[in-house]
Structure 1
Amino acid sequence: MPEAPHGFRPAERLLDVANAVRQDPELSRAALRALLVRHGERAADLSEAAAAELRAAAARIAGVLAERDADRAAHALNALLAECGARPRLSAHDGHGWHLHVDRGDDAGWGEWFLAASALALAQILTEYGRVPWGECAADGCRVLYLGTGPGPARRYCSAPCASRSRVAAHRRRLRERRS
């Protein structure tokens, strides 16, 4: 069975979709479809109504990704899983190997599928790490959501440039305060 480009990575997919919709809440159907296709999804049937449903679902997942408290994140994920009819089932479709689905079935809409798949991915990550390894970048003016599942301490920034820019700004602020 052919694999999706770079493997099947639902957490990366949910981050990319959530960040794209956060950046442009009216992201076009074509842009959404291209984003899904980049993640190995077959999205030829993405109608305007389905795109609107997917944008709304992505905005809801962005809210969970901005949550830093593990208990609140877990409760939000449980609510999403319950809403989506979370009955785990194995599925092998569109060139993907066997993987878990928790939506209502293969006829679930794009929004429900995205909410259920994203909630499942985040729930698995939360249980694996025992903490919330995601968040919104702490750099001034940056709202990018990130997933920090690598080694080392918990992340606060989406990228090295944002972390550096924040450290430089803090250093300059301290210098100004010493001078005054």
Structure 2
Amino acid sequence: MSLYKIRVAGLEDILQQDEIDLKELRNFCFYGIPDCSGLRSTCWKLLLGYLGPKRDTWSATLAKKRELYKQFIEEMVIPPGEQNGAACVDHPLSDGPESNWNTFFKDNEVLLQIDKDVRRLCPDISFFQQATEFPSESVVSHNRERKLHVRVAPSTLSSANVERKGLGMTKVGTQITFI
């Protein structure tokens, strides 16, 4: 049996106990956590105190934490067009400190920097390169909101060279894409 499989089996043995010995788990994880079948996320949840050491409380704790996160999203995410008493006098080119557009563009700059940092953080770990398996339903299902990942996604512009030859004869060249 390979060393990797031995470590996975050892970690599974620790996590199968009814009450997890956090000191034993911490010592085992000190040399790295195998990245398979959710073991790493479970270990992190235990080591950071997100989950308690008793296995029978995990499902209730996760449900409570997800509900708390859902409430947080509902409080913090304001759908466009539903702003409290906002008049339609704000202009996209306004650079005033109270301008919603100014805030939007500054947020975009921060989002772009976060996106770059996350992609550069650990490109070999799939967690940082793919979408989450459990997104917040209230954010994902809301059709009027502009999603954050759409705001930072690179966009492309297509163009073509147009040549005029003679009287009204035009030739459209090949497509060129700019990023």
Q: Normalised by the shorter chain, which TM-score bucket?
A: under 0.3
- Structure 1-normalised TM-score? 0.24
Relative contact order higher in (CA < 8 Å, ≥ 6 apart): 1
Structure 2 length-normalised TM: 0.24
Instruction: Decide which structure has greater helix share.
Output: 1
Q: Rg: which structure is higher?
A: 2
